Amino acid sequence: MPLVTLTELLELNKNENWAIGAVDVMNQDMVRGVIAGAEKANAPVILMLAEVHEALVSIEELGAIMVDCARRATVPVCVHFDHGETYSSIIRAMKAGFTSVMYDGSHLPLEENIRTTKEIVQVAQALGVSVEAELGQLTRPEGCDDEDLEENPDLYTDPEEAIRFYHETGIDALAVAFGTAHGVYAKQPVLDFDRLQEIRNKTGAPLVMHGGSGLEPADFHAAIDRGVKKINYYSNMVYSVAQTIQCKLNEAEGKTYYHDISVWAIEAIRDDIAETLTRFRSNGKA
């Protein structure tokens, strides 16, 4: 299967009610596990590296692995730079072969967010790279570990602003805030599905949901039915995989080697991702 852009993947579910799973990765084991899970589910998938994780691995180092593994996969794979906040990092991701980037100017005033997003889009279009951008802010920002933050509807995406933002910037996908949060939930979130439906009706944009870990299957399905075409997923997976590895270490007899842990991680990620993509209704869609 060829390495594909986000735009190409969004054509697959343009008129269907399923979402593409987008998974943040930080090392080769995670890359291999996510692709194995997508192949197990026969589903397209998006590999993501978030700017906040560059403290652990560089864009160029992991990007080369992501692109190479994506090209050798048997399902369509997009390589995406997640939550890029700096122009320089986004350009580096494009140069490293990422086929899609997300510019996160959600913390900026609307006018500035539109202006800076348009600048990214102009460069990306010249290079054949897709662009996702965000309007509105999740209650718990990317990289924040405060699980007790209260929801703030004032930060949710405004449907009227979304119309202008989507059409003026020329982005390929719009990330929206309607009650989800990054990380694992301390309590069940209250999601504003009416707002989500209004944004979809008024913009016609492929919508992106960040902060999907820990939601009920019914929440995912309700979001997908209201125009969400891409769902970001990370926290629940890495927590679950860590628990699996811990159990295997406790149960192991004799010596355990690092390569044993690597195999366990890949297998645990594979199974988690196959189940998750099925929950997103993307299984069998490759």
**Whether pTM exceeds 0.75:** yes
Q: Where are the alpha helices (DSSP H) in 42-109?
A: 59-72, 87-95
Amino acid at 258: Y
pLDDT for residue 186 = 46
Average pLDDT rounded to a whole number, residues 150-163: 82
In tens, the pLDDT along 236-247 reads: 899 999 999 999
Distances (CA, A) of 252 to 33, 114, 164, 249: 22, 54, 57, 5
CATH 3.30.950.10 describes domain 3-279: no
State yes or no: is 172 an active-site residue: no
Number of Cβ within a 10 Å radius of residue 216? 10
Rounded to whole angstroms, how far apart are CA atoms 283 and 214? Answer: 20
pLDDT for residue 191 = 86
Interaxial angle between packed helices 110-127 and 87-95, expressed in degrees from 0 to 180 and rounded to the nearest 10: 20
pLDDT for 8 beyond 70? yes
Instruction: Name the token pair of 107.
Output: 């913390």
Average pLDDT rounded to a whole number, residues 95-102: 98
- Catalytic residue, from 24, 29, 82, 158: name it: 82
pLDDT for 194 beyond 70? yes
Rounded to whole angstroms, how far apart are CA atoms 162 and 160? Answer: 5
Confirm if 80 and 22 have CB atoms less than 8 A apart.
yes
Question: Mean pLDDT, the chain, as a whole number?
Answer: 91
Q: Domain ranges in the chain? A: 3-279
